[in-house]
Structures are given as structure tokens and as C-alpha cells.
Amino acid sequence: MHNGFSRPFNRLFLLVVLFVFSVWPALAQYGAIDRHARQAPDSLSSDLPRLAVYLTQEAQNETEKARAIYTWVSGYLQYDHLAERKGQRINQNLRDILDRRRGLCMDYALLYQAICRYAGLQCEKVDGYAAPRLAEGRQVPEKADHAWNAVWADGQWRLLDVTWGEVQDESQLAYSTSYFFTPPEVFILTHLPEQPMWQLLPCPVSVEDFAQSHTMLYRQVTQQDTCWSAMDSIAATISLPPAARRLALARQSFEFNNTPYTTRQWAAALFDQAVAFDEQTEGLPYPDSANTIVRLRQQAIEYAETALDLSEPQTWQRELYAQLLLNQAIGRYQLPDGHPLSADAEATVAILETAKAQLLLLPSEGYFRGYALQQCNRLLEQLSGGN
């Protein structure tokens, strides 16, 4: 993930002078912890738990812990311009990031998050859209093009962008701050998260609002009334199980910036949740847990159907939907006589017909298609004979 604005360098001399005199006290606040972080032995980069201990051992609070990690990552990594030119991320994992000492914004954010967690800090990677230019009419792309972090420090969520490090763009110079623990009303001028909750504003701005000039946007966010609680939304989202959390994040992204990309992402998350529901049926005794199994499978089917309405599915997603339907029909058919669901043969036939229609949309040469169609037809014959 990258955006071409990984390291903004557009400076104005007057703003630099103003910045030096207005921000110097803030920089001095972290002088000791920054020096300690920069002196970390290179050998510690191969052992993140020990590195986290070293970086934070001089810290007096969580803010200084976050700052030490920020300073180390910013100094250790260089931006991967080769990967940016190729339009692809070269690093596949944290070891690649550490060994190559180069990365895109996602790599910076992932490494920062990993060290924070070893240091006992709650940290999240935030995906979104970055636009440091001051010009009005900025266009938000179809998909997120940048990544940064939010960290819980000393009782509140704070924002930072370690990729941009201490390099100052026009906005940061003008508002006398940096990219470490940037005030939300300033951070939003250049960073628009996919999920509005990570704006950390009393009332989130829209994609259209973000297209305003920095001056107009800053005036808007500093004069707005409170309309929601970002803290409540964050707490509710990050407490969810993994599949449900991915679904919540994808839905928030889709609702915030409805594009073909966010639509596909939400559909994919819906299918992931369908799989999670289906997996919950594994190991449940049948028919003792029949009602639970039928309910979970029905939830899985409904999530898959919502996904199908959103976006053209991939082959495996259509296969998954057909398999969910087939399993539901077989489960109902195998129920003992006298069970309420076993008597509703008409509903079971309808499920099988839907599954068959989906299977016929699959490539004819696929093994799953042929095997599942045989099961469908066999069960339809048995139900028909029973009537």
C-alpha cells in the first residue's frame, strides 16, 4: 500500500522558521527518549521482544514508550521507492521488513504495531487516504492508499504516521506539529481513515468534506459540535471476534466511501463471516443440536446471499454458497420423523433448487460442480418419491 506521498518535501522558508520557534519546545520534550531510541544496538532488530524492552526501559509513561518506538522505526526503515515504482509490496512479513530495512507505509505501520504490542501498548494499524497537498478539490481514490497507526497511551487514543516521520509538509508546519501524536483536528487535514471512528473527532467529516482546502476543513472540524462517540465505536469494534471485526471494518469502509473496491471488500468479509458461522457447526452432535446447526447454517446462507447481491462472486464464493445450501438441505432431510423441520419437505426442495441453480453457474469442468449436482439431483429425487 503506497500513495506517492510517502515523504512530503514541499517546504516554504517562512513556515520552516515559524516551525523551528514554535515546535522546538515540543521536540525538546522527547530529546532524551529520542536519543535513547537512536542508540539501540542493531543486534536487537532480530529480537523484537528484547528490542521493545530496550526502547521502553527509559520511558516514564506510555506516551514516551510510544515515542521511543516511533523514533526507532522512523530511523531504522527507509521508504521503499523500488517497491513503489513496481506498484507492489515486496516484503511478505516482519522478518522481510527487518532484514531489508525498507518498506512501504503498510510495513512501517505493521512494524510499529508489532513492537508496541511487545511493549504492552494497544496499537492498531489504520488504513485510509492521504493527501498532504493544500489545494482544494482533492480526489479520494477508489481504495485506501496509505496506512498509519493509532495507539492507546495514557488514557486516550493518539494518532501518528511513522512513515512520514519527522519530515514536515506544509500543513504540519503551518499548524506547528509533527506526525507523532498529531491532534485529530490537524491529522484529518492530510489523513482520512477508511473507518470514521479513527478520525477521533467529535463529529466525523465526510469524503466530500475532505476535498476542501486545509483552511476550510480545519475551520469546520474546530467549530463542530459533538454528534457521536468515536471511543465507543472503537471499543465496540475492536472487542469483536476476528471474522466479525473484519466484517464491521469492511462495512464501515463501504458505508463511508462507497466504491467498487470497498463493495468487493465488504462482500469478501460477508463470505468470511459465513464461513465462521458454518465452522461453528463442526463437532455439534446431530440431531441433538439440530436446531442450532440449522440456525447457524441459515445465518451463513443469509450472509452469503447479501454478499452475492453486492458483488459478482468469485468461483470459490459461489461454490461456498452452493455448499451451504446443500448442507442445509441434507441436514433437514436427515432429521428424525416428528421433528418440525423434517416435515417441511417443500422448504427443503426450494433450498436444493437454489443450490442447483448456483451450481449450474459454475464452470462445467469443475469437479465440485459435478459432484454437488449429483447430490442435489439424488436428494431431489428422494424427496419427490417421498411425496
C-beta neighbour count of 307 within 10 angstroms? 24
Q: What is the dihedral of CA 40, 43, 44, 47, to 10 degrees?
A: 170
pLDDT given for residue 29 in this prediction: 82
- What pTM did the predictor assign? 0.84
- Domains of the chain, start order: 13-236 (3.10.620), 241-386 (1.25.40)
Among 47, 111, 33, 34, smallest CA distance to 79 is for: 111
What confidence tens digit (pLDDT) does each residue in 303-324 have? 999 999 999 999 999 999 999 9
- Percent of the chain at pLDDT > 70 equals 86
- Say what the pLDDT of residue 70 is: 97
Per-residue model confidence (pLDDT) at position 13: 38
What are φ and ψ of residue 12, in 5° steps?
-120, 135
pLDDT exceeds 70 at position 63: yes
